[in-house]
Structure 1
Amino acid sequence: MSSQKIPTPIRVASVPYSQVYIRHLELPDAEGAGSVRRLQDPEPTGGPRSQQSAWWPPRMLEPDWIRKNSGSFDLMHVHFGFDALDPQTLRQTVAELRAAGKPLVYTVHDLINPHQPDPNAHEMLLEVLIPAADALITLTQGAADEISQRWGRSCYVLPHPHVIDFSTMDRLREQRAQSRGDSQRGRRIGVHLKEMRRNLSEQVIEPLAQIVEDLPGCKLQVNIHRQVVDPQNKEYLPALAEFLAAGHDAGRWDLVAHEYFSETELFDYFGSLDVNVLPYRYGTHSGWLEAALDAGTAVIAPDCGYYSDQDASVASYRWDGEQADADSLRHALQRQLSLPYVPGMDAQGRREQREALAEAHLRLYRSLMGSRGVGQPTEPEARQGQTASGR
């Protein structure tokens, strides 16, 4: 074992930092927070800057940035944003980390990119990152098993932390608990199509509407970002807009078109639903799912990816890549409407989980800094034993 001194705090070049998942890997309180310091996102230069993610494209992944700033961090931890690079540039990024003696940690959030119609581009980048990383993390056992099968690499399985802040979580879950006793209250089932990114489909709406019509006291609500149904906007989708408007006019669902939610609006939206149905065509994991559970909202997800692995309360419907299976969707909805408990962890459980996640990351960083040479991947001794909680 190396006698190399472990720096305190460990300075992590986090790619990115300004994202709720990464921020919630830190301890919720100031005590002990000095053990890890994640660098703030450098201002992007050149290229199209994302309107939703101010850190994109991430400068930390530029080989030149690593050369010039290697003295400012101890290791790099990649989460998102590497889709801004081509495989050759990403290989150069890895080479610069090796040359500077900086370990690389990669959290495998997505085995397929939810923003891209062709999986090949993302897979080519995974072929660089997964073999090169000194340690791998993923969010579910199902994803870890696929990574093991495809790349022969083991992962630390560490679940997704909370999305909603603790005080809001307490408020929404208390409201949920109180409303469960109201037999006269209508039930609201929601589908959010957002901006109709590549992995979203409206195909779940028609069979879901037929099911909801047969359930007394239930109403289907369909949300979408306004630009998709605005004829004056370049992102307008006329066929989809016509379909959604027709169903709304016929009273089959409530159509709500709106601008991007603020954080408060988004959390209150989750709190307004009894069941949140995810309309994903493909994917791996979902932060949206986690936010819904934080609000105590039951979740129904397609059986693609590993959504149902994220929480035992999630119900699944069969999805064949083109359409939702109506029978499995009906069964899932009936199950979620009859849940005898408020799904998801309460704020205290999420707080304890976050503390465990912070400790798990700190242990991993220390192991990389103190006992392994760069370029020698660190494998979990017992992958099943590396989970931060039983979620």
Structure 2
Amino acid sequence: MTRPLRVVAVPASHPYVRRVTADDAITLSHDPRPDGAGPGVWWPPVALDAAWIRAHADEADLLHVHFGTESFDVEHLIAAVDAAHDAGWAVVQTVHDLDHPQLADDEQAPYRAQLDALLPRVDAVLTLTAGAAAEIARRWGVEATVVPHPRLLDPRTTAATAPIGLAGDQRLIGLHLKDLRPGVDGPGATAALIAAVERLRSGGLAVAAEVRLHRSVRDEAARDDVRRLCATSEAVSLVEHDRLDDTALAAGLARLDACVLPYRHGTHSGWLELCWDLGVPVVAPDTGHYADQHDDPTVTSARFDDDGAALAEALERVLREGARPGTTHRRDIITARLADRARVDAGVVRSHVAVYRAVLAHPRIRPTPSGHPIESAASPARPAERTTA
């Protein structure tokens, strides 16, 4: 019997990473704990370090980088990849973000420099959408394997037990700003939503909106602007609350007729995936590749202009195509989507195993900064099965 592939994933504890590597063919190393950190703390990623890799060279076959590169400078990351190659490991990177959601607009240059250094250097690149793969090919000349985002709804939740909310007299649109991280445009998204709701109401559609915000935020000035904006509209309510656990979050989203994503920049959205699992239509901003995550009329994008015209049009469209909370139709959508998730997610796991085996089995020649070629592993370019639900 072939032994399992020993993978150091960065970070191994992330739910996304756990789900895409859930196969007997893969043994996932535990996240090493930073010095002095308490249980469950894995940040910054200790394993993304040349010295750590050299010390554990005999314990793994492959390094897979997902999140956490922003904790280091470019030289540190190059040294880590080189150490992995010197140890005989292959290196795979999943590009979740082409623009980093945890960084402000004026902080993106160092992150992009990391992508410039790493993507041509690693042995295989994965990403979540065809649109992102096309951008990677255009910017770096690298062909990325497309693997769709897996299900985010709690694995214990079935189609029968998933929350579906209750329909109110008015259609309810949600905007969740959470803690106002740098990639979220709280005031801009709120202003666009207020204008869009007023347009929809003036057109005869009974609609209201709910803006949600954590009590503890990163940008207090933006929070104050959101409070002021919400106070100007009778149709938009502001709810400030502590961070929700997974159950409360799913129940809150299930109440919605549609959800608006508040991103100023970014690439892909796990929030969109959770809404998808729950049958909640989504309107994303026309940036990144959010609308590529699902080919479905209840997932779309629009410009978030101050007049709200484009957002109102997009909301009207997804509200027409979607199912109201609390209905049999909403339950039927969830049932179909979770069944599709089971099929596609199994394909995503198989794709990871296939990529890992390919890069380990087929050495190729890769350039070094000095121009001298050395052996590395071949990067497969076959896309994974994608959902069309």
Q: Which bin holds the TM-score, normalised by the shorter protein? A: 0.7 to 0.9
Counterpart pick for 1:347 among 311, 331, 338: 338
1:380 is the counterpart of 2:364: no
Counterpart pick for 2:182 among 198, 201, 217: 198
Task: Tell me the distance in 1 between the aligned counterparts of 2:8 and 2:75.
Answer: 21
Closer, same or farther: CA 332–139 of 1 in aligned 2, 3 Å: same
Mapping for residues 227-376 of structure 1, pairs under 5 Å: 227-228=216-217, 235=218, 237-238=220-221, 240-241=223-224, 243-244=226-227, 247-248=230-231, 251-313=234-296, 314-319=299-304, 323=305, 326-340=308-322, 342=330, 346-373=337-364, 375-376=375-376
| AA matched with 1:61 | L
Task: Tell me the distance in 2 between the aligned counterparts of 1:308 and 1:236.
Answer: 27
Mapping for residues 134-153 of structure 1, pairs under 5 Å: 134-153=123-142
Counterpart secondary structure, 2:99: coil
| 1:380–1:386 contact (8 Å) kept in structure 2 | no
Closer, same or farther: CA 249–172 of 1 in aligned 2, 3 Å: farther
Counterpart secondary structure, 1:64: helix
| AA matched with 1:334 | E
Task: Tell me the distance in 2 between the aligned counterparts of 1:113 and 1:227.
Answer: 21
Mapping for residues 108-257 of structure 1, pairs under 5 Å: 108-117=95-104, 118-168=107-157, 170-171=159-160, 175=164, 185-201=169-185, 202-213=187-198, 214-215=200-201, 216-228=205-217, 235=218, 237-238=220-221, 240-241=223-224, 243-244=226-227, 247-248=230-231, 251-257=234-240
The farther-off stretch of 264-273 and 323-332 is 323-332
| AA matched with 1:159 | P
| 2:302–2:314 contact (8 Å) kept in structure 1 | yes
Task: Tell me the distance in 2 between the aligned counterparts of 1:264 and 1:174.
Answer: 9
Task: Tell me the distance in 2 between the aligned counterparts of 1:332 and 1:93.
Answer: 45
Task: Tell me the distance in 1 between the aligned counterparts of 2:9 and 2:49.
Answer: 13
| AA matched with 1:387 | E
Task: Tell me the distance in 1 between the aligned counterparts of 2:219 and 2:337.
Answer: 39
| 1:190–1:222 contact (8 Å) kept in structure 2 | yes
**Normalising by structure 2, what TM-score?**
0.85
Task: Compute the displacement of 1:34 (Å).
Answer: 1.9
Root-mean-square deviation (CA, aligned residues, Å) is: 2.6
Kindly provide the CA deviation profile for residues 337-385 of structure 1, in whole angstroms up to 9, marking residues without a partner as x: 111555675222111111111111111111122223585353335x4x5
| 2:171–2:257 contact (8 Å) kept in structure 1 | yes
Counterpart pick for 1:92 among 79, 87, 92: 79
Task: Tell me the distance in 2 between the aligned counterparts of 1:39 and 1:347.
Answer: 29
Kindly provide the CA deviation profile for residues 308-334 of structure 1, in whole angstroms up to 9, marking residues without a partner as x: 000123111125xxx456221111000
| 1:162–1:354 contact (8 Å) kept in structure 2 | yes
Task: Compute the displacement of 1:174 (Å).
Answer: 6.9
| AA matched with 1:116 | L
Kindly provide the CA deviation profile for residues 174-220 of structure 1, in whole angstroms up to 9, marking residues without a partner as x: 736xx6xx6x6432101111111111112122232233234343210
Counterpart pick for 2:11 among 7, 13, 16: 16
| 2:128–2:149 contact (8 Å) kept in structure 1 | yes
Closer, same or farther: CA 38–268 of 1 in aligned 2, 3 Å: same
Question: What is the aligned partner in structure 2 of residue 36 from structure 1?
Answer: 26
Task: Tell me the distance in 2 between the aligned counterparts of 1:355 and 1:283.
Answer: 27
| 1:153–1:379 contact (8 Å) kept in structure 2 | no
Instruction: Choose between structure 1 and 2 for higher RCO, CA contacts under 8 A separated by at least 6 residues.
Output: 1
Closer, same or farther: CA 239–199 of 1 in aligned 2, 3 Å: closer
Task: Tell me the distance in 1 between the aligned counterparts of 2:293 and 2:352.
Answer: 19
| 1:356–1:389 contact (8 Å) kept in structure 2 | no
The farther-off stretch of 365-374 and 119-128 is 365-374
Task: Tell me the distance in 1 between the aligned counterparts of 2:145 and 2:82.
Answer: 24
Task: Compute the displacement of 1:145 (Å).
Answer: 0.6
| 2:10–2:68 contact (8 Å) kept in structure 1 | yes
| 1:212–1:219 contact (8 Å) kept in structure 2 | yes
Closer, same or farther: CA 80–246 of 1 in aligned 2, 3 Å: closer
Counterpart secondary structure, 1:333: helix
Task: Compute the displacement of 1:148 (Å).
Answer: 0.5
